[in-house]
Amino acid sequence: MSAHERPPPRGDNSSLPTEKELRRKTENGSERYEDHVPALERLEERVSAAREQTESRGETFYPGPSRTHLAAFPPRERWDHWVELDSKAWPDRKERQYMLVPTTCFNCESACGLLAYVDRDTLEVRKFEGNPEHPGSRGRNCAKGPATLNQVEDPDRVLYPLKRAGERGEGKWVRVSWEEVLDDISLRIRTALEEGRNREIMYHVGRPGEDGFTERLIAAWGVDGHNSHTNICSSAARAGYQFWLGMDRPSPDHAHADVILLISSHLEAGHYFNPHAQRVMEGVKKGAKLIVFDTRLSNTATHADHWLPTQPGSEAAVLLAIANHLIQSDSYDSEFVRRWFNWEQYLSAEKPELPRSFEAFETVLKELYAECTFEWAEEESGVDAEQLREVAELVATAGSKLSTHNWRSAASGNEGGWQVARALFFLNALTGSVATPGGTYPSAWHKFVPKPIRLPRHPEHWNDLTWPEEYPLTMYEVSFLLPHLLKEGRGKLDVYFTRVYNPVWTNPDGFTWIEALTDEDKIGLHVALTPTWNESAYFADYVLPMGHGPERHDVHSYETHDGQWIGFRQPVLRTARQRLGEQVADTRHTNPGEVWEENEFWLELSWRIDPDGSLGIRPFVESETNPGERMTVDEYYEWMFDNSIPGLPETASEHGLTPIEYMRKFGAFEVDRDIGQVYETEVGEEELDDVAEDEFGRVYTRTPKPSLPNLAPMAAPDSDDEGRRPVGVRMDEKILKGFPTPSGKLEFYSPTLVRWGWPEYALPTYIRSHVHPKVMDPDQMCLISTFRLPVQIHTRSANSKWLDEIAHTNPLWLNTRDAERMGLKNGDLVRVETEVGYFVVKAWVTEGIKPGVVACSHHMGRWKLSDGLVHGSEVGVGERAEQMGQRQLMATVGIDHKKDQWKLRRKRGASAYETDDPDTSRIWWTDVGVHQNLTFPVHPDPISGMHCWHQAVRVKKASSRDRYGDIYVDTEKSHEVYRSWLRKSRGAVDHSPDGTRRPHWLIRPLKPTDDAYKLPSQS
């Protein structure tokens, strides 16, 4: 507790049970929660009294997660000068004087608020805690938030720009200046652009952590060069939602739901993890029932009322059986279905012989799903039909309060996984729980992406290395196929940026990536922008040190609940110094070493690419207030906060602040709340001019699209034949806004899938996975490789010492029965054979996994190729350095290869070492896990483009020659597997209905011009 903070008097309410006690009583079933409502109301009274008392002192009241004042946060009025006792000085009472500076966490996609506790005496950050002013995270963080401090203080981090001094991958570097880096790269890019080689520039991002700054800037270069990690992450689920809604993510209102259905381990590691997890628990506390689909007994499954350990890839079958129950028992919201499904389009196209009436559609609907019985779903999923019936009956009780979520998990693991998300949203669509309190919203209505000072031009090129013709419906770039496309000679890259991205380690088929990254004919210059050492940076030409969360600027907004907010990430020491009156123009002056923030780097690089403005890039980065000068980061965000965020200038002014001062002080702003059913909004008269309407009620207008500041990603349905834009949909006598789909309705039936060659999947349906037992050989098992450890950060936590101590290995989950059959016990070495190689790992025998399925977490198995000792921070500019990597969670390995045969063997695990931080000498673990992804070939889903992560494997007792961590891969075989999946695709050349490469209405980052959309034969 701080010296200034005093608990409020408990008064005569102190005899009340605490909420924790109430919860314990009701959870063990001995008492009903409802019986405690009066007591809870008295608790509310006590909280109100504490609120009054705090506010009477002129301070902000934060009730905190436990709803008692003891858990309160520092009142924001005192953030400039906050005093706490130094815990390390105990038992002495030593006061520490702090300035609290907000930023946002960069350690997953949730961007929770953080408060940096900047020591006013030393101007060092001493800790990070939650920011109670952040509407998404509400002051709470997971373990990875506070561990940001470990990343900042990492003794092995990259602090200075390094340039390769030997062969790629040899580990020899020379420290260089930022000037040299900028001159070299900018000249190279300028030359490529002048020679029309725009397709040879590519920016490949792992964790974006921002809303479009860099992709807009790359587009301003006239380059279709954005590449993402989305197709190894979430493309499948996005496709499932996109075809329904025209928006590619769900936004469940868990806190107000009656039934919460999760397809993933949301409470520990799911999407928007902490913001969602706290709202799931809020819903459960209010009495919501929790249903969890998870093949593993995850921590989330342990909290469920109903845990369904489905066979991987069978989830859509179970969901369709639940849908069928709703349909056959007339438990669906038929009025909602009548109004919002595009059933007329379906009947017209597929059942022209029937009357176009809703009654006819309801009859057909019953027939369509009649075969999806619980017994059929049991056969596919291995979950008892009676349990499925119980769950279906529960879903039927939810009405409009059904919150659901699928993001990675089953959608990302399986061929056809996109239909898992489509079948899941079918339940929301049937129950009418679409954008209702306690229901599930589309993402874009809960996300606010502010318009920047300048929007870029549309690139005039189409990049076939990211959007090949074989995958016209892919949700995002087929990024993980890049080395195979290069291998086939489909193009080459002159400048390839990897940014907070580690394809060698993160992607499947890492050795094929190494083959591409070491071939200078395929990749001319590889620039790794990274805050930490990683396996791919080892194969770079430049390794450039970028900032962690508290060392950079970004804005972002995510769909965490029924509201919209903006979070502002900022370099906290820069802001702290500015508050003390210093002028700081460049984050390199306040960050460790020469760590630079990316915004400043990209602005400066763009400025240098086009010094005379002849390439049209310079105006994009030129200052508006000081023409002739490069725009500063302050100007960029000042403009955005002044002009693009409704309500921010007024709120800031109430605090006597400018908008940017407000964001620097509080770190987040709530733009809106209680968004509701946007699709039911009536279109205003002012938007209706010379309207036209198609036979299904889609309404088009001639009024131009309003220039809204919110750039949240939504599909853009095509205009009608006479150039009118779609504006709404006729519903009874009104024109309503509807959904951004071609029909304006929820597309139960997808004409897009029909027109582009996939008529069999036009409705929510079940696609049997490539790892279903009926598809695999009898001696094969399904390997689940996608589950996350809640305390690791993909490839950026190797030196997060607090996290490493909690989790540092990834044994293979193996069911007791399978272990007995194979004669294995806990800790025994097993060889896991994939289609193209194998890895050797330890077995963890458990009842927590379904028989016939094994699981191995990612995040683990990090490696480095040497124990080099001379770090970039210890040498001057121009002097030689050696690559060192990170020592707390990376094994030192040797890699050998003869042509296509690659072997990796570990030499040493982690061990204690001496630095200024005494904790590095206390490292007690040596095991850092096994890098399984190296042994996976690519599996591009033919529709969504998603890499289908699950593997059909053979698990064997290791031989006497096998050693822990051994890896073997044949990359020629992995190319064959790539070719075999490629054959499943139905490409635009043969299936495009209109000579374009992709349906124009589908979301695509920074769409190229209409001409670029045309297939080469049409241009």
Binding site for ligand SF4 (CB under 6 A): 105, 107-108, 110-112, 137, 141-142, 144-145, 273-274
Beta pairing partners, 864:
892
Question: Of the two residues 108 and 444, which places its CB atom closer to ligand SF4 in the complex?
Answer: 108
**Could you tell me whether strands 259-263 and 289-293 are parallel, antiparallel, or unpaired per DSSP bridges?**
parallel
Residue 565, phi then psi, degrees to nearest 5: -140, 160
Structure tokens at 865: 């190729």
CA–CA separation, 252 and 442 (whole Å):
8
CA–CA separation, 881 and 223 (whole Å):
34
Tell me how far, at minimum, the Cβ of 267 lies from ligand SF4, in Å: 11
Q: 84 and 91 in contact (C-beta within 8 Å)?
A: no
Tell me how far, at minimum, the Cβ of 795 lies from ligand SF4, in Å: 14
Question: Of the two residues 276 and 772, which places its CB atom closer to ligand SF4 in the complex?
Answer: 276
Tell me how far, at minimum, the Cβ of 136 lies from ligand SF4, in Å: 9
Question: Of the two residues 137 and 644, which places its CB atom closer to ligand SF4 in the complex?
Answer: 137
Tell me how far, at minimum, the Cβ of 805 lies from ligand SF4, in Å: 17
Question: Of the two residues 100 and 142, which places its CB atom closer to ligand SF4 in the complex?
Answer: 142
Residues ≥6 apart with Cβ < 8 Å to 513: 483, 503, 504, 507, 536
CA–CA separation, 675 and 677 (whole Å):
7
Tell me how far, at minimum, the Cβ of 128 lies from ligand SF4, in Å: 9
Question: Of the two residues 136 and 744, which places its CB atom closer to ligand SF4 in the complex?
Answer: 136
Q: 407 and 276 in contact (C-beta within 8 Å)?
A: no
Please tell me whether residue 967 adopts helix, strand or coil conformation.
strand
| CA of residue 233 relative to chain centroid, distance | 7
Beta pairing partners, 406:
263
Cα angle 441, 447, 448 (rounded to 5 degrees) comes to 145
Tell me how far, at minimum, the Cβ of 274 lies from ligand SF4, in Å: 3
Structure tokens at 384: 């008892």
Selection from 761, 169, 64 nearest residue 417 by Cα: 761
Question: Of the two residues 206 and 999, which places its CB atom closer to ligand SF4 in the complex?
Answer: 206
Tell me how far, at minimum, the Cβ of 15 lies from ligand SF4, in Å: 36
Question: Of the two residues 273 and 513, which places its CB atom closer to ligand SF4 in the complex?
Answer: 273
- DSSP conformational letter for 685: G
Tell me how far, at minimum, the Cβ of 797 lies from ligand SF4, in Å: 10
Locate all alpha helices (DSSP H) within 291-331, ordered by sequence: 299-302, 315-328
CA–CA separation, 446 and 105 (whole Å):
20
Question: Of the two residues 560 and 701, which places its CB atom closer to ligand SF4 in the complex?
Answer: 560
Residue 745, phi then psi, degrees to nearest 5: -115, 180
Question: Of the two residues 145 and 726, which places its CB atom closer to ligand SF4 in the complex?
Answer: 145
Structure tokens at 419: 């239909």
Residues ≥6 apart with Cβ < 8 Å to 664: 101, 102, 568, 570, 575, 578
Establish whether the linkage from the previous residue to 937 is cis, with ω within 30° of 0: no
Tell me how far, at minimum, the Cβ of 548 lies from ligand SF4, in Å: 12
Selection from 533, 260, 520 nearest residue 398 by Cα: 260
Q: Is the sign of the CA dihedral 45, 46, 47, 51 positive or negative? A: positive
Question: Of the two residues 508 and 549, which places its CB atom closer to ligand SF4 in the complex?
Answer: 549
Residues ≥6 apart with Cβ < 8 Å to 324: 369, 370, 372, 373
Q: 516 and 487 in contact (C-beta within 8 Å)?
A: yes
Selection from 507, 563, 515 nearest residue 931 by Cα: 507
Question: Of the two residues 147 and 923, which places its CB atom closer to ligand SF4 in the complex?
Answer: 147
**Could you tell me whether strands 542-545 and 250-252 are parallel, antiparallel, or unpaired per DSSP bridges?**
unpaired
Question: Of the two residues 108 and 396, which places its CB atom closer to ligand SF4 in the complex?
Answer: 108
Tell me how far, at minimum, the Cβ of 113 lies from ligand SF4, in Å: 8
Q: 940 and 946 in contact (C-beta within 8 Å)?
A: yes
Selection from 414, 393, 411 nearest residue 329 by Cα: 393
Tell me how far, at minimum, the Cβ of 105 lies from ligand SF4, in Å: 3
Question: Of the two residues 151 and 214, which places its CB atom closer to ligand SF4 in the complex?
Answer: 151
Tell me how far, at minimum, the Cβ of 155 lies from ligand SF4, in Å: 22
3-state helix, strand, coil in the chain (%, to 5): 35, 20, 50
Tell me how far, at minimum, the Cβ of 143 lies from ligand SF4, in Å: 7
Tell me how far, at minimum, the Cβ of 439 lies from ligand SF4, in Å: 23
Question: Of the two residues 104 and 228, which places its CB atom closer to ligand SF4 in the complex?
Answer: 104
Question: Of the two residues 42 and 126, which places its CB atom closer to ligand SF4 in the complex?
Answer: 126
CA neighbours closer than 13 Å in the CB half-sphere of residue 392:
28
Tell me how far, at minimum, the Cβ of 317 lies from ligand SF4, in Å: 32
Tell me how far, at minimum, the Cβ of 108 lies from ligand SF4, in Å: 3
Selection from 144, 141, 124, 142 nearest residue 132 by Cα: 141
Beta pairing partners, 101:
116
Question: What b/e sequence results for 492-519 when a residue is b if at least 16 CB atoms lie within 10 Å of its CB, and e otherwise?
Answer: bbbbbbbbbbbbbbbbbbbbbbbbbbee
Q: 855 and 812 in contact (C-beta within 8 Å)?
A: yes
Question: Of the two residues 112 and 232, which places its CB atom closer to ligand SF4 in the complex?
Answer: 112
- Give the largest Cα separation in the chain, rounded: 87
Q: 994 and 1014 in contact (C-beta within 8 Å)?
A: no
Q: 50 and 61 in contact (C-beta within 8 Å)?
A: yes
Question: Of the two residues 501 and 813, which places its CB atom closer to ligand SF4 in the complex?
Answer: 501
Tell me how far, at minimum, the Cβ of 507 lies from ligand SF4, in Å: 22
Question: Of the two residues 110 and 564, which places its CB atom closer to ligand SF4 in the complex?
Answer: 110
| CA of residue 763 relative to chain centroid, distance | 27
Tell me how far, at minimum, the Cβ of 887 lies from ligand SF4, in Å: 23
